[in-house]
Amino acid sequence: MPSLRPKPALFNPIFRLTTSGLLRRTGAGGAVRAMDAAQVFDRESGASDEPDQRARLKIAIVGFGNFGQFLARTFAEQGHAVIGHSRSDHSAAARSLGAAFFRDPHDLCEQHPDVVVLCTSILSTEAVLRSLPLQRLRRSTLFVDVLSVKEFPRNLLLQLLPPEFDILCTHPMFGPESGKHGWSGLPFVYDKVRIGDSEDRANRCRRFLDIFAREGCRMVEMSCTEHDENAAEIQFLTHTVGRLLAKLDLKPTPINTKGYETLLELVENTRSDSFDLYNGLFMYNNNSTELLERLELAFNSLRKELFGRLHVNLRKQLFQSPDGGSSPGAEEN
């Protein structure tokens, strides 16, 4: 599949790794370890020494829902080979995006992707990751997650993946609605949690990040912890206010102000995201509970201020005599 886009300055061909591996578990729920194996997987996966083939990544998207398909479109447009897997059958959607879809995770892993992008709901990530037959992947596989929270997947990936796998935690801070007109200027946060020392591995990670850089994203390298501290305010607050306003069932009017239109836009932006996503932002970011409490306090304090003034004005009216002086009742009080 030829690339439809100009090659950027960052573009570096990736050289396929020459070793592959088998994996074994070290006890119930324990870490998965890689074992040396012959290079047969590389040949099976159709790796080629042609420069174009080396430059192209085979990217598996696990969780081929709303956001997974949104990413798949751009990956495919840039000439990468995209394969998908999900709980539901998204074969038709995959076909329309130029991607292959595998209902069985074993079949997906046997394709030996260079990169596996975890794109499932935050709440289902652990179960989905545990259900993947990691032993069928090459041991040099790069795992990327795009979850909207970051500390949780970082810890999970470090705990469940074999030590030979590379880990890149990312958060494209836009979605199918906010990124529908392109990704230029939109923030892309990433943390190279564990990238092997070899040039091949560094190149592969760079090439994956380059997909977003060449779309014009604002690339922000930031630790997962720092991301979550910032994201509670940025994301959770935005989604909460959007969902709160949605409950008011706001309607456009013939005299909309700019401010009101911003509110309607916020409702529109957040309404299209699943409740699972919103719930995940709350459940898996330690900072969200505190933010919700601060929001409630702020609302109560604002209401108190308004009702306080109302009370003062009412009292003035109640106790003012018709000639402008205070009524006897007011003096008694």
User: What is the 8-class DSSP label of residue 229?
Assistant: H
* Cβ contacts of 229 within 8 Å, gap of 6 or more: 287
SS3 163: coil
Candidates 65-73, 102-110, 203-211, 240-248 — which segment interacts with ligand NAP by CB under 6 A?
Answer: 65-73
Residue numbers 247-286 binding ligand NAP by CB under 6 A: 273-274, 276-277, 280
Q: Which is nearer to ligand NAP, 78 or 120 (CB)?
A: 120
Q: Which is nearer to ligand NAP, 41 or 101 (CB)?
A: 101
DSSP 9-38: TT--PPPPPS-EEEEEE-STT--EEEEEE-
Interface with ligand NAP, residue 120, by CB under 6 A: yes
Residues of this chain, 150-209, that bind ligand NAP according to CB under 6 A? 172, 175
Please, which residue, 99 or 146, has the CB nearer to ligand NAP? 146
Q: How many chain residues bind ligand NAP (CB under 6 A)?
A: 26
66 binds ligand NAP (CB under 6 A): yes
Residue 295: CB atoms within 10 Å: 15
Report the b/e string of 180-193 with b at 16+ CB within 10 A.
eeebeebbbbbbeb
Q: In this chain, which of 64, 183, 208, 212 binds ligand NAP, going by CB under 6 A?
A: 64
For ligand NAP, which residue of 86, 140, 141, 285 counts as binding (CB under 6 A)?
86
88 is a contact residue toward ligand NAP (CB under 6 A): yes
Gap between the Cα atoms of 267 and 32, Å rounded: 43
Buried b / exposed e over 70-85, threshold 16 CB at 10 Å, is: bbbebbbbbbbbbbbb
Binding site for ligand NAP (CB under 6 A): 63-68, 86-88, 119-122, 124, 127-128, 146-148, 172, 175, 273-274, 276-277, 280
